[in-house]
Amino acid sequence: MDNKAINKDYYDNVYSKTDIDTIVKNIKNFENYYKELTTYHIDWVGFYKNNFHKNVKNKKILELGCGNGTNSAILAKLGAEVYANDISQFSEIIIKKLNEKLTFDKNINPISGDFLDANLESNMFDMVVGKAFVHHLTHAEEDLFMQKIINILKPKGVVRFFEPAVNSRILDEIRWLIPVPGRPSKLQINKFKNWKKNDHHPERDNSTSSYSKIGKKYFKEFNISHIGTLERFSRLIPNGHFNLSFRKHAYSIEKYIPKYINMKFARAQVVDYRFPKK
Ligand SMILES: C[S@@+](CC[C@H](N)C(=O)[O-])C[C@H]1O[C@@H](n2cnc3c(N)ncnc32)[C@H](O)[C@@H]1O
């Protein structure tokens, strides 16, 4: 199976079990839910970094790798006209249900299947976004995606991606030694080999330098910032009130750490590309 088929297989299985009613309940409680996500959870704190929510109203936004549709629903609630794409056929099913059960100014437009096959007009979007998506593409796929993104973005269009960051080989090696739910330690040689064989992430470079190269190649401006230098230690604290409080304060304190240190040690990055080179 190629990388796309592996991802489709894996995420079809994940999203076929989606509890849509919980997503609906959360979005109906929008203010509290959005506040909780963007206070404690690294992917949401990162994705909405620098008051990104203020930029989306009335914008035409394509979300790539929209998954269970939560972020597309949030963007729609914030007033964007959202198009949501995912390789999993279940994303479209979920999004149609969200449109039925929730009230948006503009319903979310699902684009099912391979983005590269999607029939989209040139200069159509103000923004293309993705949360934990690009690192699921091989570099060859990423390049093809960017070519299409350049075409469908307006000349003043922007991109925001939230992605894991791997900028220190030593930290990365240590990370593989520590088992996490669903992934054994590298020291458990056979179990690890077996896990790796079935892993749906392609072998690729997730460094900031790799995203910078794409930024330079396809955009007139780009900026990459980092998050999770201190937050990563929350994994050593049992779940509960203290863990949440630690994370909240970690995000605030991290802002004062010099950029070059954050780049090396952060576990995630926020990639902003602006103004496509057409
Ligand atoms: C880690 S999940 C993130 C999902 C969602 N953005 C979130 O933050 O919860 C990665 C997503 O990328 C999707 N994906 C992987 N390869 C893809 C491709 N070639 N085209 C579109 N979506 C893809 C997967 O189906 C999955 O929904």
Instruction: Using most ligand atoms within 8 A of CB, pick from 11, 45, 48 the residue to mutate for ligand 1.
Output: 11
Count of CB atoms situated within 10 Å of the CB of 37: 18
Cβ 105 vs Cβ 76: under 8 Å: yes
Residue 278's pLDDT band (boundaries 50, 70, 90)? Answer: confident
In which domain, by residue range, is 119 found? 3-276
- Whether 42 is in the pocket of ligand 1, judged by its Cβ within 6 Å, is no
- Whether 136 is in the pocket of ligand 1, judged by its Cβ within 6 Å, is yes
Which amino acid makes up residue 157? Answer: G
Counting the structural domains of the chain, the total is 1
pLDDT at 175: 86
Measured between alpha carbons, how far is residue 15 from residues 69, 88, 91, 164, 207 in Å? 10, 8, 7, 21, 28
pLDDT at 181: 85
Q: What is the pLDDT of residues 151-197, one digit of tens each?
A: 999 999 999 999 999 999 898 899 899 898 889 999 999 999 999 98
pLDDT at 187: 95
Q: What is the pLDDT of residues 227-254, one digit of tens each?
A: 999 999 998 899 999 999 999 999 999 9
Query: Which pTM was predicted?
Result: 0.95
- Whether 132 is in the pocket of ligand 1, judged by its Cβ within 6 Å, is yes
pLDDT at 263: 96
Residue 90 sits in a domain of what CATH number? Answer: 3.40.50.150
Count of CB atoms situated within 10 Å of the CB of 44: 19
- Whether 72 is in the pocket of ligand 1, judged by its Cβ within 6 Å, is no
Count of CB atoms situated within 10 Å of the CB of 12: 15
